Amino acid sequence: MQNYRAPVDNVLFLLADVLGFYRHANLPGFADAGPEEVAAILAEGARFSEDVLAPLNRTGDIEGCVRNPDGSVTTPPGFREAHRAYAAGGWIGLAGDPAHGGQGLPYVLAAAMNEFVTSANMAFGMYPGLTQGAIAALTLHGSDDQKRTYLPKLMSGEWAGTMNLTEPQAGTDLGLLRTRATPNADGSFAITGTKIFISSGEHDLADNIVHLVLARIEGAPPGTKGLSLFVVPKLIPDPDSGAGTRNALSCVSLERKMGIHGNATCVMSYGGATGWLVGARDKGLRAMFTMMNEARLGVGIQGLALSEAAVQMAAHYARERLQGRALTGAVQPAAPADPIIVHPDIRRTLAAIRGFNIAARALMLSVALDADIAVRSPDAAVQEAAEDRVGLLTPVIKGVFTDRGFDNAVAAQQVFGGAGYIADTGIEQLVRDARITMIYEGANGIQALDLVGRKLPRDGGRAITAFFAEVGDFIAAHEDDAALRPFVRPLKKALDDLQGATVWFMANAMTKPDNGAAGATDYMHLLGLVALGHMWGRIAVAVAAKGTAATETEKADLLFGRAFMERTLPETGLRLARIQAGAETIMAIPAEDF
């Protein structure tokens, strides 16, 4: 995206002053991430995103990926060089295990960097993003041998990774998967089947592509309990020579799609390809689930990232475009018209996006930090609490950030008027790119069902109870502070709505699960709004605590927070009303009448 400026200062402020990042210096890897190191890492990541990746975004959309007659795929101009530089910068293995070539830095820094990369060029960011997913899967479930073979090459970016789940008849319902694995004599398996919607499935950015494939071993039970995970490399590495033998798999076509044209979305065909079991037999879905939090958080970050890219473009345009006059009198009387940023309708649009972005960044970083704590803390109780919070808020971040990220891109496009519909302006690409984030890695309706059906009831409601305490304690601690009232009072009302919705579910959804499912999306948004409102409260407290040390930007940003509390947070009442409407009416409609 043109003229993108990564929000480095905001990230540094949130980490240091709102989230207390540097209080965790005792955790593994955190000692290497002091204030100076973090500032240097983010500054370098910002520079790379702004200078190298952003200029390739429009051309990536226009040129797209091309599948050649031999089945190879050519990525857009500049992507190869950028990927090489990105890999050489150590970004792919930033938070990876140092035993296998990673830098071992906190994951929260990788999450911050992912926002920058995605704002600059989402289609590009998906290539290393998928590689990071494969790294996570093999780190958690791979054998020592698999780790030695694959992780160093993936972390260095010499090789790339993918995830192969979906088939034409099996999207959300993975139990319907048909790809089969037949045991070979040497302990490997022959993988046969067709996978669709495979992001980064084939490309020219790496020497090898490591596919992680869900398949059913012959004789395994039907449904999700018979699925196993396999590592299926495009080139089978020879342990001695390092060279590889071509495996029996190929990209048979690229999908023509609405956006992310710079990323190759492949139909992959496996014709008896050699693969090796990752983790336990028939436990493939569980293996997928353990790394799903990171993947879903990653997609939530994409929602935020495109919202940020969009508002930067729209605000720039609104300051430059001269049209009409301020209602209260000309602001630039010498010019033929005032810049459209004088208009309240433009301001409420931009303020709503900014108000979301800053709180969303805080929430995303807080959950990423909890993900670090969940695996690195020496204290089991601290680990458990962090894991609960990650589990509860990950579907919220995925669903809410991408729904709002898309809406924000659309709202930003509206600021451009007619120019927003023209491809050259660039903003319509952000809308098209953002649209996929609501769909992939579990459509947002599935995130909502995961939240309401699994995360809420788990362990007797331990996670949501802790969340209520977290927000409730904040309110109790600050409700007598008159200066904080514009933040605390709306938050209290919003928390009441959330608790009311939770009580309603307990009374009405246990016996009638349709009532839970009918309100799930609204509950997800309601919880997200409370979590975002809470972040604004914490930001306001942090700015107040900094006193004269607070920057002008930090102080000015609080106005976006107030606009959020006044104009966005009241949505909780609507969400509650919809939840309480229940399922009766919509379930009564005959299927053929829709």
Residues catalogued as catalytic = 441
Cβ neighbours for 328, distance < 8 A, ≥ 6 positions apart: none
Distance CA 342, CA 353 (A): 17
Candidates 80, 180, 257, 283; binder of a copy of itself (CB under 8 A) is 257
Candidates 135, 137, 350, 539; binder of a copy of itself (CB under 8 A) is 350
560 counts as binding a copy of itself under rule CB under 8 A: yes
Minimum distance from CB of 176 to a copy of itself (Å)? 6
Distance CA 41, CA 45 (A): 6
What's phi and psi for 207, nearest 5 deg?
Answer: -75, -25
374 counts as binding a copy of itself under rule CB under 8 A: no
457 counts as binding a copy of itself under rule CB under 8 A: no
DSSP string over 144-179: HHHHHHHHHHHHTTSEEEEEE--BTTBSS-GGG---
Query: Please, which residue, 45 or 259, has the CB nearer to a copy of itself?
Result: 259
DSSP category for residue 94: T
Candidates 428, 430, 456, 484; binder of a copy of itself (CB under 8 A) is 428
Q: Please, which residues bridge with residue 244 across strands?
A: 237
* Whether 158 contacts 243, CB under 8 Å: no
354 counts as binding a copy of itself under rule CB under 8 A: yes
Candidate ranges 87-95, 182-190, 426-434, 533-541; the one touching a copy of itself (CB under 8 A): 426-434
Query: Please, which residue, 111 or 126, has the CB nearer to a copy of itself?
Result: 126
432 counts as binding a copy of itself under rule CB under 8 A: yes
330 counts as binding a copy of itself under rule CB under 8 A: no
Minimum distance from CB of 449 to a copy of itself (Å)? 7
431 counts as binding a copy of itself under rule CB under 8 A: yes
* Whether 352 contacts 568, CB under 8 Å: yes
550 counts as binding a copy of itself under rule CB under 8 A: no
Query: Please, which residue, 121 or 349, has the CB nearer to a copy of itself?
Result: 349
Minimum distance from CB of 189 to a copy of itself (Å)? 24
443 counts as binding a copy of itself under rule CB under 8 A: yes
461 counts as binding a copy of itself under rule CB under 8 A: no
SS (H, E, C) 180-224: EEEECCCCCEEEEEEEEEEECCCCCCCCEEEEEEEEEECCCCCHH
What's phi and psi for 339, nearest 5 deg?
Answer: -65, 145
559 counts as binding a copy of itself under rule CB under 8 A: yes
Candidate ranges 12-20, 162-170, 294-302, 392-400; the one touching a copy of itself (CB under 8 A): 162-170
* Whether 83 contacts 127, CB under 8 Å: yes
Distance CA 535, CA 357 (A): 11
Candidates 31, 88, 258, 506; binder of a copy of itself (CB under 8 A) is 258
Q: Please, which residues bridge with residue 211 across strands?
A: 162, 232
12 counts as binding a copy of itself under rule CB under 8 A: no
Query: Please, which residue, 149 or 413, has the CB nearer to a copy of itself?
Result: 413
449 counts as binding a copy of itself under rule CB under 8 A: yes
Place of tokens 């797209």: 64
Candidates 36, 256, 460, 547; binder of a copy of itself (CB under 8 A) is 256
Distance CA 233, CA 211 (A): 6
Query: Please, which residue, 375 or 439, has the CB nearer to a copy of itself?
Result: 439
Candidate ranges 143-151, 179-187, 256-264, 287-295; the one touching a copy of itself (CB under 8 A): 256-264
The kind and range of the H/E element at 107 are: helix 107-141
In this structure, what token pair is assigned to residue 588?
């009564």
Candidates 26, 245, 253, 553; binder of a copy of itself (CB under 8 A) is 553
Query: Please, which residue, 144 or 593, has the CB nearer to a copy of itself?
Result: 593
Q: Which of 432, 364, 362 is nearest to 398 (CA)?
A: 364
In this structure, what token pair is assigned to residue 96?
């990876």
Candidate ranges 180-188, 332-340, 384-392, 528-536; the one touching a copy of itself (CB under 8 A): 332-340
Minimum distance from CB of 437 to a copy of itself (Å)? 10
Residue 307, number of CB atoms within 10 A of its CB = 29
Candidate ranges 7-15, 232-240, 301-309, 312-320; the one touching a copy of itself (CB under 8 A): 312-320
How many residues at the interface with a copy of itself, by CB under 8 A?
Answer: 96
In this structure, what token pair is assigned to residue 401?
């950030």
DSSP category for residue 92: T
Minimum distance from CB of 365 to a copy of itself (Å)? 21
* Whether 455 contacts 279, CB under 8 Å: no
What's phi and psi for 398, nearest 5 deg?
Answer: -60, -50
Candidate ranges 70-78, 365-373, 386-394, 412-420; the one touching a copy of itself (CB under 8 A): 412-420
* Whether 560 contacts 358, CB under 8 Å: yes
Query: Please, which residue, 549 or 589, has the CB nearer to a copy of itself?
Result: 589
Query: Please, which residue, 92 or 292, has the CB nearer to a copy of itself?
Result: 292
Candidates 100, 343, 389, 525; binder of a copy of itself (CB under 8 A) is 343
